[in-house]
Structure 1
Amino acid sequence: MQLPPDDRTLSPRTGYGRAHWEAAADALLAAVEPYAAEGGALYHLPGDRTSWSGRLSDGLEGYARTLLAAAFRRDETALERYADGLAAGVAGVWPRIEDRSQPLVEAASIALALRLTRPLLWDRLDDGVRQRATAWLGDALTAEAWPCNWELFPVTVGGFLNEIGYETDASRKAIDRGLERIEQWYVGDGWYTDGDGRKFDYYNGWAMHLYPVLHAWLADDDRLLDLYGSRLSRHLEDYARLFGGDGAPMHQGRSLTYRFATTVPQWLGALTGHTPLAPGETRRLASGALKYFLDRGAVDSHGLLTLGWHGPDPAVLQGYSGPASPYWASKGFLGLLLPADHAVWTAEEEPGPTERADAVTPVGPPNWLLQSTSSDGIVRLHNHGSEDVRYDPYYTRLAYSTVTEPSSSPSAAYDNSVVVGDDPSRTEIEPLGVGEGWVASRHTAGGGARVTSVVLVRGAVEVRAHLVAGAEPGTAVRVTGWAAAEGVRAELLPAFGLTDALTGVTGDADTLFVALARLTGDADAVPLREAVSVRADDGGELLVRWSGGPEVRVLLGGTGAEMVVEVIRTGRSGRRRPTSSA
């Protein structure tokens, strides 16, 4: 991909400005053009993989997702091609929108693109094409969605159809129904779960916030924009901390092949005026993510986005991933809706949160603890509340980072896990709270044992403690740490109840296991055992002494299965009691 020369005056960290984003969008659109079929209604991208929806649906996906890039780019030449494709698609090429079908997803992209470019595309179509297009889109108003972010696809279609005066009652009902349904998944502080349960991931940004906020903004609905915009702004306070100093997004959750679609919340906040981020910080975070992927092989020799993370990588794919799935990355070009003279494009880049200082950030709703170090730009996510067993290992591991990826092969050693017996599973995760420098949870492990876990962090150093209850005496327990990654060092040392091989066995009562861990790119880091010391006993109590820092006393498995974290600092103490249940 040919991009303009870096502009290190305006963008001292990434070198990227608006021209780089425009060039990237243009290159991606040009690369897919040869794969158009059926009059441009389908884009059959190369590769031997077909999603579980089938080849026809995959071809529609190729049309809809690349159309988004053309819409954000406002490329009239490209939009003419997509207008031809639309005419052919609604003349009988595209599959119907049915209950819980993939065309419902793609209809939302098409409707959003049509709404954003109405004078350039929709208004130039002849009446017959418009009638057939509204009839095709109209099925989305009543199609049953999967109970997750899919509820927002009828909202997005309804927003466009209501605007052009098609079936306005049905359109408004679809909008109201979808927005009402996502309320049951809003858990506060800007966070949604993606459906029932505790499914926290990037769908918060590229779906749960994107569609309601854009709908409210396009409808000029101040009431809705205040509601959803305030949630977005609060979300960005946490979300901005999920990006490493090298631009990498956190390697957690499903659909990671959408790559720089992770930039949606930053752009959306700037576009609608609902953001806590300075303009130069917004562009730095977004450009950092785009550059991260373009520099690491996300685009192949034909200029196409591959199915993977850096380059091709089947480990990050799901059954619904087809050849065109990566093109939901088109959402990352949302920033091109901002005019060239907007401060986001003209302000000098400012460092992101990870670059400014070491930080430990509690994130309440998902019960996460974010641990970042400015010397190496690494962000670590300690997960004590997100769970979706359908997509393990991308949800249920104890920790994730911007420089490592979880092991996914059953034959591989599971990273960041507590293996009880020979079962590494972690289910029924119960958040126990998060506070200043600590986070805790309880989960079910192999054979029905319950494991209460707490991690305490300072700098890049971690103390991980696990109290295993309900296992047969003599059951083997193994603790694992960070997966290996290029350019960083992963350390894991036994501190209590574990051999040098990080294994132990349960006793007649609840049994405590403690390890020291570190993931660092700092070649001069002090030895791990000099950074922290731990004293513990079989009753589940431990005292953590940080070198040059506070002492922390932790009691796991106290009265009524309660856990207490007590922080002791220079003669004064404060007690933190996480929410827990007996």
Structure 2
Amino acid sequence: MSTTPTDWTRDEWLAYADRLLAGARRWASPTGARITPPGAEGGYGHDVDGLEGFARTFLLAGFRIAGERGAGVDELIDFYSRGIAAGVDPSNPERWVRMTEHAQAKVEAASIALILDMTRPWIWDRLGATTQQRVIDYLAPVVGDDTYPPTNWLWFRVVVQTFLRSVGGPWSPDDIAADLALHDRLQRADGWISDGPEQAYDHYVGWALHLYPVLWSRMQGAAELAAGRTARDVAALDRYLLDATALVGGDGSPLVQGRSLIYRFAAAAPFWAGVFAEVPSTSAGMLRHAANRIVAHFADHGVPDGDGLLTMGWHHQWRRLAQGYSGPGSPYWAAKGLLGIALPADHPVWSAPAEPLPIEHGDVLRTIVAPGWVVSGTTTDGIVRVVNHGTDHATPGTLVGDSPLYARLGYSTVTAPLHDGRAWREPLEQSAVLVDRAGSATHRAAIELLGVRRDADVAVAASVSTSHWIDPDGQQVHHGSGITGRASVAGRMTVCSVVRGPWELRLVRIDELAVAPDAVRLRMGGWALAGDGLESTAFDGVATVRRGALTSRISAVEANASARIETRHDASPIGEVAAVPVIETDAAAGVWRAALVTLDGADAASGPLSLRIDGLDATVTWPDSVTTVTRLIASRPAPDADR
């Protein structure tokens, strides 16, 4: 068992929060109504950027004020109170963008309403009657607005209307009932929640779809509106956290998967939500420790920067990681990861002994049914890997481009998906694709999950997809989903993964070909490594990339595959140069093609893999000489089959 790192004291949490607030507030407008840190203007314009900067830092300020019960934070209270008064004053040149002017105001309004409720005695109750009425008028357009997308946005309407109800403003019980019903329809197995009707599983599950029900339940009057649902919401969060704690890397990094990664340590939010909700299955000490490891990971990597600012990037500024609409105030949704400072110094969480994360306690091998993930974590290197067969941010039955953020076959806590323009057009890393003579690669979204299960020392997952090329549309909306365009079908492909430790045995079967077999090749890509000092080799069907002790390798099990390294520049938030090990072979239909895909940071055994397939039974002798027998998943089970 590895040693559990020492957690920050509450004073250290407060110091970090104060540093973030000080850095951002230096860029406030004269009235304080807008905070616009330096950086490229967001896709929604300068006015929205300023509102985001205010509302998202107001989250952090509100946690700070609530945690101190309003004592000793008068300057924060005064600053944000003045900003609110100016923001809702329709005659003030620094007034806020209204919901009727831009939809993004609906998002930011929820943060404002949430914190006005949380800090009610120190801010709302002290605002003048005119300002209070202007706040109500500013928030009122939410009522009856049916243009909210059917995603985590549902909670923005619920939170705002709950606050309006508590202060005598307009509200609609039908709106709230409809939104809560939508939340329930988005529920999936084991506490997971889809962010909309697509196969969309990412950090929004935790930092939005689980966080808001917990915070909403504590708002004034919410208990009456909840009608007894809170216990059910807490039970779902409780179950989700059992999986979420297993997704944190040994170095504290969250999984590098999904959109809005510039929110960074917002990934700590669901752990604090678990503390607030007093979930029964995970101790407060482990939940605080999980949040601490994530926030400290970024602090240790220079976040915030030398000016005390959160930039659009991961460990450093890298604008491509942001969505097209993101502006310089957007990263401050990271404030959610500091929710714990809203708990006062006498709360038991601050004295609870730290308990190790799953990856700090021992190797992890876990299946998560809803997103179709196999989770494999190895204590020796602290890496958590996800092999993905059910998540692509696409609507089932559609043919769209693969989003690098969602549709790749694997994600980890030490690698990042390639994220340049070419990556959206051409799946490369962590992929199994058909490539035509011109070098164009197929996509697999929307994928169909065939199943995921654990078999003793291995886990197995599989999916089937229609392999297709995409001729992109001229205009694209970059909100996380893959590119759209005219699809040309190449065939049908089944991919089955057998996972053990740092290894994935990837089995690919072309079930149907819609093109001539000699017109395409089958290509498989391994993990992308990025950064300085990359070393690579490729020969005899084995391609390897190394960065220090970290190794990414793909090895063909058949002898007739070629191997090479694909290099990309300015395509990864982790480093300027990225390299992907690749193998390629013929595209024969009806036979399994196999490769061993490795991501290892501790020099695990690198010997050959032996494979024998008898029907659907796969006998594998792994590089460390351990032999396993696994029944592959190659078709969807009948509804009444023994699962």
| 2:26 is aligned with 1:34 | yes
Give yes or no for contact 1:254–1:391 (8 Å, CA) kept in 2.
Answer: no
Query: 1:311 Cα shift?
Result: 0.5
Give yes or no for contact 1:38–1:88 (8 Å, CA) kept in 2.
Answer: no
Query: 1:68 Cα shift?
Result: 0.4
> What amino acid does structure 1 have at the position aligned with 2:601?
G
Closer, same or farther in 2 for the Cα pair 1:368/1:246, shift >3 Å?
A: same
Give yes or no for contact 2:450–2:462 (8 Å, CA) kept in 1.
Answer: yes
> Which residue is equivalent to 1:72?
63
Give yes or no for contact 2:269–2:339 (8 Å, CA) kept in 1.
Answer: yes
| 2:556 is aligned with 1:551 | no
Is the deviation greater in 542-551 or in 266-275?
542-551
What are the superposed Cα offsets for residues 82-140 of structure 1, whole Å, 9 maximum, x if unpaired? Answer: 11011101102112213870000000000001010000100000000000111101112
> Which residue is equivalent to 1:519?
599
> Which residue is equivalent to 1:420?
434
> What amino acid does structure 1 have at the position aligned with 2:620?
V
> Which residue is equivalent to 1:62?
53
> What amino acid does structure 1 have at the position aligned with 2:605?
V
> Which residue is equivalent to 2:190?
189
Is the deviation greater in 398-407 or in 494-503?
494-503
Closer, same or farther in 2 for the Cα pair 1:66/1:371, shift >3 Å?
A: same
> Which residue is equivalent to 1:227?
232
> What amino acid does structure 1 have at the position aligned with 2:47?
L
Q: Which runs of 5+ in 2 are unaligned?
A: 66-72, 395-400, 469-488, 531-546, 564-582
Counterpart secondary structure, 1:440 = strand
> What amino acid does structure 2 have at the position aligned with 1:173?
D
Distance in 2, matches of 1:45 and 1:352, equals: 35
Distance in 1, matches of 2:442 and 2:360, equals: 35
> What amino acid does structure 2 have at the position aligned with 1:117?
T
> Which residue is equivalent to 2:12?
20
Closer, same or farther in 2 for the Cα pair 1:299/1:495, shift >3 Å?
A: same
> What amino acid does structure 1 have at the position aligned with 2:491?
A
> Which residue is equivalent to 2:533?
none
> Which residue is equivalent to 1:310?
315
Query: 1:16 Cα shift?
Result: 1.4
Query: 1:173 Cα shift?
Result: 3.3
Distance in 2, matches of 1:100 and 1:397, equals: 33
Distance in 1, matches of 2:558 and 2:156, equals: 51
**Where do 1:384-399 residues align within 5 Å?**
384-388=389-393, 392-399=403-410
TM-score (norm 2): 0.81
| 2:156 is aligned with 1:153 | yes
Give yes or no for contact 2:113–2:160 (8 Å, CA) kept in 1.
Answer: yes
Distance in 1, matches of 2:391 and 2:329, equals: 28
Distance in 2, matches of 1:326 and 1:27, equals: 15
> Which residue is equivalent to 1:89?
87
Distance in 2, matches of 1:563 and 1:555, equals: 12
Counterpart secondary structure, 1:35 = coil
Counterpart secondary structure, 1:526 = coil
Seq. identity, %? 38
Counterpart secondary structure, 2:87 = helix
Distance in 2, matches of 1:95 and 1:511, equals: 58
Query: 1:38 Cα shift?
Result: 5.0
Query: 1:536 Cα shift?
Result: 4.2
Counterpart secondary structure, 1:39 = coil
Moved over 6 A (4+): 576-579
Query: Quick one: which of 407, 419, 422 aligns to 2:418?
Result: 407
> What amino acid does structure 2 have at the position aligned with 1:544?
V
> Which residue is equivalent to 2:169?
166
Query: 1:178 Cα shift?
Result: 1.4
Query: 1:30 Cα shift?
Result: 1.0
Counterpart secondary structure, 2:404 = coil
Counterpart secondary structure, 2:561 = coil
> What amino acid does structure 2 have at the position aligned with 1:164?
V
> Which residue is equivalent to 2:506?
464
Backbone CA RMSD of aligned residues: 2.3
What are the superposed Cα offsets for residues 498-554 of structure 1, whole Å, 9 maximum, x if unpaired? Answer: 5141211122x323210012111113x21242xx421248x8764323456453244
Distance in 2, matches of 1:309 and 1:242, equals: 17
Distance in 1, matches of 2:189 and 2:621, equals: 34
Counterpart secondary structure, 1:23 = helix
Give yes or no for contact 1:198–1:388 (8 Å, CA) kept in 2.
Answer: yes
**Where do 1:117-516 residues align within 5 Å?**
117-143=119-145, 144-167=147-170, 170-218=171-219, 219-220=222-223, 223-388=228-393, 392-411=403-422, 414-421=428-435, 422-436=440-454, 437-446=459-468, 447-471=489-513, 472-474=516-518, 475-485=520-530, 486-487=547-548, 488-496=550-558, 499-501=561-563, 502-507=583-588, 509-516=589-596
Distance in 1, matches of 2:597 and 2:504, equals: 5
Distance in 1, matches of 2:129 and 2:44, equals: 31
> What amino acid does structure 2 have at the position aligned with 1:444?
T
Give yes or no for contact 1:68–1:330 (8 Å, CA) kept in 2.
Answer: yes
Query: 1:201 Cα shift?
Result: 0.6
Give yes or no for contact 2:253–2:293 (8 Å, CA) kept in 1.
Answer: yes
Q: Which runs of 5+ in 1 are unaligned?
A: 1-10, 565-575
TM-score (norm 1): 0.89
Distance in 1, matches of 2:306 and 2:328, equals: 16
Closer, same or farther in 2 for the Cα pair 1:71/1:562, shift >3 Å?
A: closer
Counterpart secondary structure, 2:257 = coil
| 2:28 is aligned with 1:46 | no
Equivalenced residue count is 547
Counterpart secondary structure, 1:236 = helix
> What amino acid does structure 2 have at the position aligned with 1:65?
R
Counterpart secondary structure, 2:529 = coil
> What amino acid does structure 2 have at the position aligned with 1:229?
V
> Which residue is equivalent to 1:573?
none
Query: 1:174 Cα shift?
Result: 3.0
Counterpart secondary structure, 2:462 = strand
Counterpart secondary structure, 1:149 = coil
Counterpart secondary structure, 1:246 = coil
What are the superposed Cα offsets for residues 399-436 of structure 1, whole Å, 9 maximum, x if unpaired? Answer: 00000001123546721001202314221200111111
Task: Please identify which structure carries the higher helix content.
Answer: 1
